[in-house]
Amino acid sequence: MISSNLRKAREYEEKYEAVIKEEDRPAFHLSPRVGWMNDPNGFSFFDGKYHMFYQYYPYESKWGPMHWGHAVSEDMLHWKYLPAAIAPDTEADMVGCFSGSAVDMGDGRHMLLYTGVTREGFEDYRDKLLGYESGDIQIQCVAIGDGVNYTKCDTNPVIDSSMLPDGCSKLDFRDPKVWKNSDGTYNCVVGNRPADGSGQILLFTSADGIKWNFKSILIKNECRYGTMWECPDFFELDGEWVLLTSPTEMVASGLEYCSGSGTLCLIGDYDETAGKFTDRSNQSIEYGIDFYAPQTILTADGRRIMIGWMQSWGTLDIKDSSEPWFGQMTIPRELSVKNGRLYQWPAKEVESMRTGKTEYRGVSFEDILKLDGVSGRQVDMEVVVRPEDIDSYGGFEIRFAQDDNFYTSVIYDASDSVMKIDRSHSGCRGDITNQRICSIGSECLSELKLRIMLDRFSAEVFINGGEKAMTITMYTEQSADDISFVASGRVNIDVVKYDLK
Ligand code: FRU
C-alpha cells in the first residue's frame, strides 16, 4: 500500500517528465525526473545496478517538502528513472524526508536510512505539510524495499535525540551515512550540533540495521570549519581514514575555503574501539563553485566512487521555479589518497562513452589558438601545457562553451601558481558567484595537466592528475560550443579530445 502523498508524486512525475526534452537535460549527469533536486542520497549497489536517490521536490523547481527521487544505472552515467521512492507521509517524517543513505542487506532487501523531519506535538500533520521551520526536529528513519518500492518501518524513528548525550541538538541531527561491516553488523555516521553551535559527527552501531545504539562522538568541529556539518561520509582509503562533510557558514580562509556552504575532507586516525577519529590534515573536497554534499560507495572491484550535488545553495535563483527542472549530480569520480591528500579522477566508466578522438601533439603557439575538431559541449579533453621559455611565461587559459559573445574558462596564472574557474562571461544574468581560485603546485609551471569534462550545462576540471577539481555549472546556449586556447608567452601543448555519447 503506498500513501496518497507518494502516489501523487509518482503520478505527477510520470505525467510531467515529458515536458523536458532529452536535449534540454544533461546527457550523462543525473538530473531530477522533474522539478527540484539537491543532495545525492542512498548511492548504493543493489540487485545488479547502481541506485541513486536524491532530495526531490517534483512539483516545482524549488526546494519544498522533501521526497526521495530514484534512478538506476549500470555505469553511473546513463540513468533510468524509477518511481519516487519515499514521500513525507508518516508522523516521523511529516515535514520532509531529508538526506540519507542505502545499503544492500544481503538477503534481497535494500535498506534506506534517512532523516525524518517532524514537528513535536504536532497532531494534525497530514493537512499541514508546510515546509521546514525552526522548531522542527530531526530523527533517523528506516525504509526497506526491493529496489523499487519501500516500506517505512513501524518502529520509526530508529534513532532519536533521546539516545544522544546532553547538549546534542535535536533540531540539527541529520544525514545518516550507513555501511555494513564484514561481520554483518552496521554502522552509521550522522551530522549534529553540540552546545557550542558548531558541528560534530555522531557514530551509531546496529546488529540488524533497525535497532540502533549510540556509540560515540566520532569527531567535533570545535568551530574550526563552518558551523553545522552536513552529509558526512566516513571510510578507509589507501590505508588512511577519511571523513567527508559539507560544513555550513564557512568563513573564507586563504584559497582553501570559501565563505558559505563548503566542503571538507579530513584525513586522520580512527580508534575503532573508542569510536574516535582524529584528523591530521584538512582540505576542501572541491575547489569549484557547484559542488556539495557528496556521497561515496565502494564498488565490487574495490574502487571508492564519489558523486556530489553539482549545484550550490548560492545559485538557487538562477532559474525560475516554473522551469521544468533544477539541480544535477556530478559524474562518478574515483577517489584516492596520495601524499596525504584526497585525489579524484573521472571513473573509468566514462571512457566507454568516448567517440571521435582528435589528437594534437607538440603544438607550439602564443596568444590564441583554435584547433580543427576541438569543439563541443559533450567533451572529454586532456591538455598538457609546457612553456617554451619559463621567464616570459605568464599563464594559460582554456575557453569553452564559447561563441562570439560568451565563454567560460579555466585560467592558470603562472606567477601566483593559481588556477581560476570563471563564468563571468557565460551569459548568465543572475547575481551569483562567477569565479573561484585555488592554489596549485609549482610543478605545474613546467608541465600543467588538465582534464575537462563538459556536458551541456557544466564543466568539471581535474588539475594535475586529480590533485584538485573545480566544478561549475553554466547556462550558455548550446550553440556556443567553441573551445580555444590562450597563452601568455610561447607554449607547447598536447590536446587529446573525445566527444562523449
Ligand atoms: C544539505 C541538506 C541536508 C539536508 C538536505 C535537505 O544540502 O541541507 O543537510 O538533509 O539538504 O534537503
Ligand 1 pocket test: pick from 230, 248, 264 the residue with the most ligand atoms within 8 Å of its Cβ: 230
For the chain, residues with pLDDT lower than 70 are: 121-135
38 lines ligand 1 (CB under 6 A): yes
**Whole-number pLDDT of residue 136:** 87
Q: Please tell me the pTM assigned to this model.
A: 0.96
The CA distance from 191 to 394, in Å, is 44
Q: Closest ligand 1 atom to the C-alpha of 261?
A: 7
231 lines ligand 1 (CB under 6 A): yes
Active site residues: 39
**Whole-number pLDDT of residue 320:** 85
Query: Which residue has a Cα nearest atom 6 of ligand 1?
Result: 98
Task: Output the nine-digit C-alpha cell for 154.
Answer: 513501524
Q: Do residues 76 and 307 lie in contact, with contact meaning Cβ atoms separated by under 8 Å?
A: yes
In the chain, domain spans: 4-17+27-346, 353-500
Tell me which fold the domain 4-17+27-346 belongs to.
Tachylectin-2; Chain A (2.115.10)
Q: What is the CATH number of domain 353-500?
A: 2.60.120.560
The CA distance from 95 to 112, in Å, is 18
**Whole-number pLDDT of residue 1:** 82
Q: Closest ligand 1 atom to the C-alpha of 292?
A: 7
**Whole-number pLDDT of residue 11:** 98
Considering only the C-alpha atoms of the chain, give the largest distance between any 2 of them, rounded to a whole number of Å.
Answer: 74
- CA–CA distance from 9 to each of 15, 113, 206, 269 (Å)? 10, 20, 32, 44
User: How many angstroms separate the alpha carbon of residue 40 from the centre of ligand 1?
Assistant: 10
**Whole-number pLDDT of residue 134:** 53
User: How many angstroms separate the alpha carbon of residue 155 from the centre of ligand 1?
Assistant: 24
User: How many angstroms separate the alpha carbon of residue 98 from the centre of ligand 1?
Assistant: 6
Pairing, β 150-152 against β 173-180: unpaired
97 lines ligand 1 (CB under 6 A): no
41 lines ligand 1 (CB under 6 A): no
What string of H, E and C letters represents the secondary structure of 141-159? EEEEECCCCEEECCCCCCE
Q: Closest ligand 1 atom to the C-alpha of 55?
A: 12
Q: Do residues 369 and 339 lie in contact, with contact meaning Cβ atoms separated by under 8 Å?
A: no
**Whole-number pLDDT of residue 429:** 87
Q: Closest ligand 1 atom to the C-alpha of 66?
A: 12
